[in-house]
Amino acid sequence: MPPDAQEPEGFLPQGGNYQDLLSYRKSEIIYDFTFRFCERFLKKGDRTIDQMVQSARSGKQNIAEGCKASITSAEMELKLVNVARASLEELLLDYQDYLRVRDHALWVKNSKEALYVRKLGRTPNESYETYRPIMDTRPPEVLANIAICLIHQANYLLDQQRRQLEKDFVKKGGIREQMTRARLDYRKQQQSQPPKSPNQQRD
């Protein structure tokens, strides 16, 4: 490359810091919450334990992997966000089943209990520690309802994230389109450079 030629601008998006994503932080709380819920309230050997913990883990891990994949593949990021959303939906059904088969009530969306959990969800620096005192003192039917509220919050965030990813993909394209655009822009830049004099070429 000639010494005075400019390097093409990078076309890879900045990304990969999944810990800044609200959806990831919420899903991490759900995983920690679910692990302890299953450990305390489900009998050892119950296959539901593995299913629920794995669903919670899959939600968290796929958000993180999707964020990392965003650096090189918008398609893969969108796919992994969808996997995370499906995993949390499966976990939601498990908690709802827990309540239903034991004849416990499911909180309605705008009940005072659900509104309280929603308020906790807006706590600055929310983490599992926000909910630890509740986990340590409340009965399982209350905790299952809290988990359901948390999953609804995470699913809402993932739906927002997915819609934004779809818009960005339509607007910017995937990595192939961005690579092609970067190559074409670089060629145009090279063609616009003024031709060198014979003295410059000898240098």
Say if CB 166 and CB 75 are below 8 A apart: no
Range of lowest pLDDT (17-21, 48-52, 105-109): 17-21
Q: Supply the DSSP symbol for 194.
A: P
What was the pLDDT predicted at 38?
Answer: 98
d(CA 172, CA 86): 26
Which tens digits make up the pLDDT trace of 50-84?
A: 999 999 999 999 999 988 887 777 788 889 999 99
Kindly state the average pLDDT of the residues 16-43: 94
CA Rg value for the chain: 24
Q: Is 26 a residue whose pLDDT tops 90?
A: yes
- Higher pLDDT residue, 201 or 141? 141
Which tens digits make up the pLDDT trace of 185-196?
A: 667 777 777 666
The single residue listed with the structure tokens 């004849």 is 103
Q: What's the mean pLDDT when you consider all of the chain?
A: 85
- Higher pLDDT residue, 134 or 7? 134
- The encoded tokens of residue 30 equal 């759900």
For residue 6, what pLDDT band results from cuts at 50, 70 and 90? very low
Q: Is 181 a residue whose pLDDT tops 70?
A: no
Say if CB 37 and CB 144 are below 8 A apart: yes
d(CA 158, CA 152): 10
